[in-house]
């Protein structure tokens, strides 16, 4: 695995920072956020370093990431409540490793007002 200057994801991918895994494939990891800001807050990342969504060139990896997102949503039974899938880029991206947030909870109702 290629290490980067992204300490947060490097620590998780190397196991230095333990996380509660929800789903893991050969190329994708989904886990509960270590500092959740939603009732449900899951992170989905590729295991290989990809800086952001624009840098995602591998179509098979893109499919695997979105399949993992779909599987987590189903596993956590989120379609019966509410959820968002979010990724950030540029200056909005604090962690320079492609990651998707799956969030759900009562905060969702407030965020639409």
Q: Which two tokens stand for residue 70?
A: 């779909």
Please state the pTM of the whole predicted model. Answer: 0.88
Pairing of β 21-24 and β 28-32: antiparallel
Region for 83 from its dihedrals, namely left if φ exceeds 0, alpha if ψ lies in -120 to 50, beta otherwise: beta
All structural domains of the chain with their residue ranges: 7-111
Tell me the three-class secondary structure of 21-73, residue by residue. Answer: EEEECCCEEEEECCCCCCCEEEEEEECCCCCCHHHCCCHHHHHHHHHHHHHHH
Structure tokens at 23: 């789903």
pLDDT tens per residue, range 4-34: 557 567 789 989 999 999 999 999 999 999 9
Superfamily of domain 7-111: HIT-like (3.30.428.10)
Shortest CA distance to 34 belongs to which of 5, 65, 12, 7?
12
Question: Of the candidates 79, 39, 38, 17, which has an alpha carbon nearest to the alpha carbon of residue 29?
Answer: 17
The pLDDT tens digits for 39-88 are 999 999 999 989 999 999 999 999 999 999 999 999 999 988 889 999 98
């Amino acid at each position: 695995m290629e290490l980067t200057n992204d300490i947060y994801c490097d620590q998780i991918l190397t196991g230095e920072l333990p996380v509660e895994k929800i789903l893991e494939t050969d190329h994708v990891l989904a886990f509960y956020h270590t500092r959740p800001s939603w009732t449900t807050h899951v992170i989905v990342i590729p295991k290989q370093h990809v800086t952001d969504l624009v840098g995602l060139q591998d179509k098979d990896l893109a499919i695997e990431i979105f399949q993992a997102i779909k599987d987590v949503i189903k596993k956590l039974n989120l379609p019966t409540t509410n959820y968002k899938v979010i990724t950030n880029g540029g200056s909005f991206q604090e962690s320079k490793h492609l990651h998707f947030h799956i969030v759900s909870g009562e905060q969702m109702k407030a965020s639409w007002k």
